[in-house]
């Protein structure tokens, strides 16, 4: 059903999966900083391919979301387990797990939202001085806010005003475009939609609000 472009992206992802398995084996046999860097790049390429595929499909009217219940605590665990940050680690990623546990489950496309947040976390880690925080809370009037905050200099004014497509100067804007797309495609029968909010408070704050 997919076009040649989509099929080519699938092929690339399959090769990447095989590469990952070999990298993991090499790392188990003889760990080295070079291998760590290779794993980091591999996971970034995978994320970019997923985002590219989603944007391509949305463009062709073929993007499909799979909204189902997911335990938020499990989701955050998976997210943090998959987050690979460049060594040496200069920032810590914090999350109040017991607060997330209390929230129970939410209905969303965990696969695509995971990539939105991995991007946000990587971006936050790049600008943070010491720490990155991920916070989840229910919105009054319905919805779930997932906020990724850092203690860096905050978003430049141009980003907050929406004057630039990307969250920082040396990015293509793929990540933010993807985040807005995925947020907007989340909807409920009562007519609410998801959205992305960017703001500054003791650093940059990226929020994804799921309906």
Structure tokens of 102? 């209390």
Answer yes or no whether residue 9 interacts with another protein by CB under 8 A. Answer: yes
Q: Give the whole-angstrom CA distance, residue 152 versus residue 130.
A: 8
Q: Give the whole-angstrom CA distance, residue 177 versus residue 79.
A: 20
Answer yes or no whether residue 50 interacts with another protein by CB under 8 A. Answer: yes
φ/ψ of 91, rounded to 5, equals: -125, 155
In the complex with another protein, the residue whose CB is nearer, 78 or 168, is 78
Answer yes or no whether residue 151 interacts with another protein by CB under 8 A. Answer: no
How far apart are CB 204 and another protein at their closest, in Å? 28
Q: Give the whole-angstrom CA distance, residue 191 versus residue 109.
A: 17
Member of 53, 125, 147, 204 binding another protein (CB under 8 A): 53
Identify the H or E element spanning 188.
none
Question: Which residues sit at the interface with another protein, rule CB under 8 A?
Answer: 2, 6-7, 9-10, 13-14, 16-18, 20-21, 24-25, 46, 50, 53, 64-69, 71, 74, 77-78, 81-82, 104-107, 111, 142, 187-190, 192, 211
């Amino acid at each position: 059903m997919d076009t040649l472009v989509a099929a080519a992206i699938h092929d690339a992802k399959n090769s990447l999966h095989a590469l990952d398995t070999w990298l993991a084996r090499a790392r188990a046999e003889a760990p080295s900083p070079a291998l760590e860097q290779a794993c980091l790049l591999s996971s970034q390429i995978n994320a970019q391919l997923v985002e590219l595929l989603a944007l391509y499909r949305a463009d062709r009217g073929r993007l499909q979301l799979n909204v189902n219940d997911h335990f938020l605590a499990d989701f955050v665990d998976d997210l943090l387990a998959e987050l690979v940050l460049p060594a040496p680690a200069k920032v810590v990623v914090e999350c109040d797990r017991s607060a997330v546990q209390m929230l129970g489950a939410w209905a969303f496309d965990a696969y695509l939202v995971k990539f939105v947040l991995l991007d946000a976390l990587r971006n936050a880690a790049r600008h943070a001085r010491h720490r990155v925080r991920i916070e989840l809370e229910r919105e009054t009037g319905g919805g779930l806010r997932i906020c990724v905050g850092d203690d860096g200099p905050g978003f430049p004014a141009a980003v907050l005003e929406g004057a630039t497509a990307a969250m920082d100067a040396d990015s293509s804007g793929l990540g933010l475009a993807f985040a807005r797309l995925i947020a907007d495609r989340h909807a409920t029968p009562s007519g609410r939609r998801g959205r992305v909010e960017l703001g500054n408070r003791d650093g940059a704050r990226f929020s994804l609000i799921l309906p």
